[in-house]
Amino acid sequence: MAGHIFDLSGKVALVTGSGSGIGQQTAHTLAGLGAQVFATDINHEGAAATAAAVGGTATALGHDVTAPEDWARVVARVQDRAGRLDILVNNAGIMVNRPFLETTLAEYRHQQAVNVESVFLGMQAALPLMLMTASTHNVSPSIINISSVYGQVAGATFSAYSASKGAVRLLSKAVAYEFARTGVRVNSIHPGPTATNLGAGWEPPRDAAGNPLSPEEAAAVWLNLIPNGRFGMPTDIAAAIAFLASDASAYMTGSELTIDGGYTAV
């Protein structure tokens, strides 16, 4: 969208986990601001539906973010089709929501693989193309890693998830520091309770007898913990991603944006 403060015209974006939720909305938002979007997801049908809805130059790719060979294939496809990469949104993730003593090692490892190793692999795969983009086009490419408020504060029954999202937070800062003089920026975003399919995995509160509350009762409990009184929406998170993707945030790297309606403020 030429002339918009977050104008992304001419830029190329790769968004993982774009078959639903925050990733899907991000693909729509970035494309609406002028970016050429590559929408990836392990659910290829979901990514294809997103790309079809976005229209224009959007491309859908099946993508297992835990597989190095998939990252190599996806980045090669971006380079072949677009010749550059300005924006990488590492959004794909899962949520293990289980009491600590009931969490298996296999579950813990799978949580780390999807939420942390994918970010590590994605940045390693994409950085050579992003560095080339920075030097060739005199631009400041942006890596945006999606963490969580549970990467900043603890949550009961979220030990594996919190460990993964805390790792994303500091991995982002370390890579931002290392590449700060190259033109490539790295920042993280920390959503609070958000109305997505993944957000539905949040542990339902229980009553005094230990029985799970109804969805309506559980929603009321969660809302009581959010100072502004509503759940986040994918559009809230996508707007922040658009800011970090744009030149409006050119002086930001190694930063973390918390978007949680005040959840971590008290």
Amino acid at 240: A
Query: Residue 247 class from Cβ within 10 Å (0-12 exposed, 13-18 middle, 19+ buried)?
Result: middle
Instruction: State residue 264 phi and psi, 5-degree precision.
Output: -95, 5
| Paired tokens of 61 | 């790719």
User: 66 and 116 in contact (C-beta within 8 Å)?
Assistant: no
User: 163 and 112 in contact (C-beta within 8 Å)?
Assistant: yes
User: 253 and 145 in contact (C-beta within 8 Å)?
Assistant: no
Instruction: List the catalytic residues.
Output: 161
Q: What's the count of helices (H) and strands (E) in the chain, helices before strands?
A: 8, 7
First to last CA, the chain: 38
Angle between helices 105-112 and 159-178 (to 10 degrees): 30
DSSP 8-state symbol, 202: S
| CA–CA separation, 223 and 201 (whole Å) | 15
